[in-house]
Amino acid sequence: MTALEKLELIHCAIQEVIKLSLPSGLDEEMDNALKLVEDLREPYLERIDITKWKDRKPTTKKDKLVQSILRGEIIE
């Protein structure tokens, strides 16, 4: 599993936790954690040639992951 894949999994897990009813203060902590993970994964996303993935039909799990990341979707 690549560093980007690990960061994306953490990002998705945090988003799922945020959807829950959180005690006061914890929601802010989770938002901060989400922003931190987004900052960490940004350099990886900048290296991806977006035009390469724009119209490409996903053939592998990695292709689907990258396209979901570029669309800002939650990966399940």
Q: Which residue has the higher pLDDT, 9 or 47?
A: 9
Whether 21 has a pLDDT exceeding 90, the answer reads no
In the 8-state DSSP scheme, what is residue 24?
A: T
pLDDT in tens, 23-35: 878 888 888 999 9
Instruction: Give me the pLDDT at residue 75, please.
Output: 53
Instruction: Please determine, for residue 15, whether its predicted confidence score (pLDDT) is greater than 70.
Output: yes
Q: What is the CB-side half-sphere exposure of residue 17 using CA atoms within 13 A?
A: 16
Confidence band, pLDDT 50/70/90 cuts, at residue 37: very high
